[in-house]
Amino acid sequence: MPKCATHKPAMEKIISRRHFLALGGFALAAGVLGGKRSLASAGENIPGKKGGFEMIPLPYGYEALEPYIDTETMHLHYDKHYAAYTKNLNGALEKFPELQAKTIEQLLGNIAVLPEPIRETVRNNGGGYYNHGLFWRIMGPQGGSPEGALAAAILETFGGVAELKKALLGAAASVFGSGWAWLVVKNGKLEITTTPNQDSPLMGDLAKKAGEPILGIDVWEHAYYLKYKNERAKYLDSWWNTVNWKTVGNLYRAFPSKT
């Protein structure tokens, strides 16, 4: 079994946040934790704190997505890959204090005008930080299916959940090399898109189509190769069972009015 290399530091970070709140960050906390931003955000930056971007805690155990996603893959994916994106993002921002107060969404949304020396690093690692922060949250062991406004939008746009699954997983299967497939909200409508590498739909002109991502599928080989080897289609079909439709529905409700 792999060691949980960053599990303890992750817990320490949670504790440090509690310290931060106890020390009087109430105005900021209200903004970060209380409104739509906390719902929409796939990562948290604490301005003024060294290495300000924090890994979001995994909302379930490493084993919780078995048998669809195996425990060892979850360990490697969260403890190693996600940790590295987070560390490298924070490292890139070290010499740019004016950027350290930005949210990850602000950084990615302005990627084209970031300082040239760190633009590619933030693109790759900030993208990785955000994409995985969303990915952990839109998975879960509870199963279920889309409900309410999201279910209605899926019916209107795709004709039903089965059709959405076919189109989204088809897009994911078609990504050449490493990348992501997304369900995004754009102009109040659901759309499917893909991005290469760790690019995010939030990056606007860098992505094929900009939009607010509410569901993302990681098709990097590190997401599935241990269990599924080269059979990406098998991984995708299995992965579909892990979607946390409650969270996806909450994200959908947070976006249509403003995008």
Please identify, using beta-carbon distances, which residue of 74 and 223 lies nearer to Mn ion.
223
Please identify, using beta-carbon distances, which residue of 129 and 158 lies nearer to Mn ion.
129
Q: Are strands 189-196 and 212-218 parallel, antiparallel or unpaired?
A: unpaired
Please identify, using beta-carbon distances, which residue of 79 and 218 lies nearer to Mn ion.
218
Site for Mn ion, rule CB under 5 A? 218, 220, 223
Give the whole-angstrom CA distance, residue 115 versus residue 102. Answer: 14
Q: In 3D, which of 226, 231, 221 has the Cα closest to residue 180?
A: 221
Task: State whether the Cα torsion 228-71-134-48 is positive or negative.
Answer: negative
In the complex, what is the shortest distance from the CB of residue 119 to Mn ion, in angstroms, rounded to a whole number?
21
Which pair of tokens denotes residue 53?
Answer: 């971007």
Cα–Cα distances (Å) from 168 to 15, 140, 177, 184, in that order, read 38, 18, 17, 11
Please identify, using beta-carbon distances, which residue of 20 and 68 lies nearer to Mn ion.
68
In the complex, what is the shortest distance from the CB of residue 81 to Mn ion, in angstroms, rounded to a whole number?
5
Please identify, using beta-carbon distances, which residue of 76 and 150 lies nearer to Mn ion.
76
Please identify, using beta-carbon distances, which residue of 93 and 223 lies nearer to Mn ion.
223
In the complex, what is the shortest distance from the CB of residue 130 to Mn ion, in angstroms, rounded to a whole number?
12
Please identify, using beta-carbon distances, which residue of 54 and 218 lies nearer to Mn ion.
218
Q: Which residue is nearest to Mn ion (CB)?
A: 218
In the complex, what is the shortest distance from the CB of residue 63 to Mn ion, in angstroms, rounded to a whole number?
18
Sheet holding 189-196, edge to edge: 189-196, 179-186, 212-218
In the complex, what is the shortest distance from the CB of residue 180 to Mn ion, in angstroms, rounded to a whole number?
9
In the complex, what is the shortest distance from the CB of residue 97 to Mn ion, in angstroms, rounded to a whole number?
29
In degrees to the nearest 10, what's the CA dihedral of 75, 79, 80, 85?
130
In the complex, what is the shortest distance from the CB of residue 35 to Mn ion, in angstroms, rounded to a whole number?
28
